[in-house]
A and B are shown apart, each in its own frame.
Chain A
Amino acid sequence: RKEVEQDPGPFNVPEGATVAFNCTYSNSASQSFFWYRQDCRKEPKLLMSVYSSGNEDGRFTAQLNRASQYISLLIRDSKLSDSATYLCVVNRGTNAGKSTFGDGTTLTVKP
């Protein structure tokens, strides 16, 4: 079993739809969590950190469920520009070298 698992998709949704991605992790000692966005043939860019209390940034909401060991990303009112691959990242500690990246979930938003 991979340490961090994501549904690879692809998720194909119409503009304006709400879409949710989940990411599960196996190490219960994991300490911090992030969502990154990666456009085709580009570098990953930090989308949001995920806090225990959940956090929201505009149309994006991230949640953490430590008991079930998963994080989620909800995108409301999807835009064409949201089309990308979304990577979940789990840190096992604060030192370098402790991050594990998921393989990503691909989202395509269609007109």
Chain B
Amino acid sequence: DGGITQSPKYLFRKEGQNVTLSCEQNLNHDAMYWYRQDPGQGLRLIYYSQIVNDFQKGDIAEGYSVSREKKESFPLTVTSAQKNPTAFYLCASSAGGDYNEQFFGPGTRLTVL
């Protein structure tokens, strides 16, 4: 079955530690995205990538980093510079084209202790 996987589902981190969230897709999509969602709020774009070896900052990129070495993978690192990292992190991908619907992974819930 094609889809997007994210791991881990739950992640706990101590302040001052970097942590990397995994996102893999086998949909053969060119574009991939990372969003952050806080309770009762909408999705905010952190980073996106339209093609391998290229990525762009979204609206809230400070304190985060990404890489896109393979088409299938788009890991997100939450660095110690991110002031308020506790949130629900969602990865998505899209094929592009006129409508460019995005499809989401199940998310990673990060808690900083």
Binding site for B on A (CB under 8 A): 31-32, 34, 41-46, 49, 87, 89, 91, 94-99, 101-104
Q: Is the CB of A43 within 8 A of B104?
A: yes
Chain A hits for B103, CB < 8 A: 46
* Nearest 4 interchain pairs by C-beta: A96-B31, A103-B42, A43-B104, A101-B43
Given A96-B31, A96-B48, A97-B58, CB of A43 within 8 Å of CB of B90: yes
User: Interface size (B, Cβ < 8 Å)?
Assistant: 29
Chain A hits for B101, CB < 8 A: 34, 46, 49
Q: Report the tally of A-B residue pairs with Cβ distances under 8 A.
A: 64
Interchain CB contact (< 8 A) of B104 among A44, A97, A102: A44
Alpha-carbon distance between A57 and B40 when the two chains are bound, in angstroms = 28
Q: Is the CB of B107 within 8 A of A49?
A: no
Q: Is the CB of B100 within 8 A of A94?
A: yes
Alpha-carbon distance between A97 and B60 when the two chains are bound, in angstroms = 12
Q: Is the CB of B42 within 8 A of A99?
A: no
Q: Is the CB of A45 within 8 A of B104?
A: yes
Chain A hits for B96, CB < 8 A: 94-96
Chain B hits for A44, CB < 8 A: 43, 90, 104
Q: Which of B42, B56, B103: most chain A CB closer than 10 A?
A: B42
Q: Tell me which residues from 18 to 72 in chain B have a Cβ below 8 Å from any Cβ of chain A.
A: 31, 33, 35, 40-43, 45, 48-50, 56, 58
Given A97-B48, A97-B56, A97-B58, CB of A32 within 8 Å of CB of B100: yes
